[in-house]
């Protein structure tokens, strides 16, 4: 409770003194999809945005895979992505709200493009493109979470990243196995 009061007071002081909500790159953090918290590092804020948008994208793509994939193995994988990323999103929201950040609930434009491309495909062509997207997205997620776990400033967000990293590494491993079976070429 004391943390919430401190955050609220800091936000009031920032608003009263006219402090900007710049994420360090010239863009307002609110426009990026997360409310700002004084004293929270740019890396921590950017992690929340990227992790939240990544999980939302994983859920959206997995829902599409459950509809469009003819493969029971890929449909099972997609079901796991929905469950695991929904749970991870819930945990991220809790950790972020503890730090005074409201994670975005939207998908990044680049993920919308992937979803739209996949929506036009079916059968094995869908499966190959979906698995390729899963490989790329999970590699990015593993790198993002490793970075946050090792250099994040927020203890809550660092712990969340540390605890979630093995799950994401497992997803990447499963995607690699499915991709190998489907004949999708990838480099590790």
Phi, psi torsion values for 28, nearest 5 degrees: -65, 135
CA distance 42 to 24: 6
Three-class SS of residue 95?
A: helix
CATH of the domain at 147: 1.20.1260.10
| 187 inside domain | no
pLDDT of 136 > 70? The answer is yes
Crossing angle for the helix pair 42-68 and 72-98, nearest 10 degrees?
150
Q: Is residue 28 part of a domain?
A: yes
Q: How many CB atoms lie within 10 A of CB 183?
A: 10
State how far the alpha carbon of 32 is from the alpha carbons of 67, 72, 103, 134, 167, in Å.
30, 37, 10, 24, 26
Instruction: Indicate the number of domains in the chain.
Output: 1
Is the pLDDT assigned to residue 187 strictly greater than 50? yes
Full-model pTM: 0.78
Q: What is the pLDDT of residue 12?
A: 32
């Amino acid at each position: 409770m004391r943390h919430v009061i401190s955050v609220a007071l800091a936000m009031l002081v920032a608003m009263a003194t006219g402090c900007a909500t710049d994420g360090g790159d010239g863009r307002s953090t609110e426009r990026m999809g997360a409310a700002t918290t004084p004293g929270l590092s740019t890396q921590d804020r950017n992690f929340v945005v990227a992790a939240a948008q990544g999980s939302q994208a994983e859920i959206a793509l997995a829902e599409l895979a459950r509809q469009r994939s003819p493969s029971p193995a890929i449909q099972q994988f997609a079901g796991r992505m929905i469950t695991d990323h929904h749970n991870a999103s819930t945990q991220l929201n809790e950790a972020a709200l503890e730090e005074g950040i409201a994670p975005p609930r939207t998908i990044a434009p680049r993920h919308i493009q992937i979803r739209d491309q996949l929506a036009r495909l079916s059968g094995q062509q869908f499966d190959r493109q979906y698995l390729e997207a899963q490989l790329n997205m999970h590699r990015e997620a593993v790198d993002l979470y490793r970075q946050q776990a090792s250099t994040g400033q927020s203890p809550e967000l660092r712990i969340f990243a540390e605890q979630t990293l093995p799950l994401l590494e497992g997803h990447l491993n499963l995607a690699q196995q499915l991709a190998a079976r489907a004949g999708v070429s990838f480099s590790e």
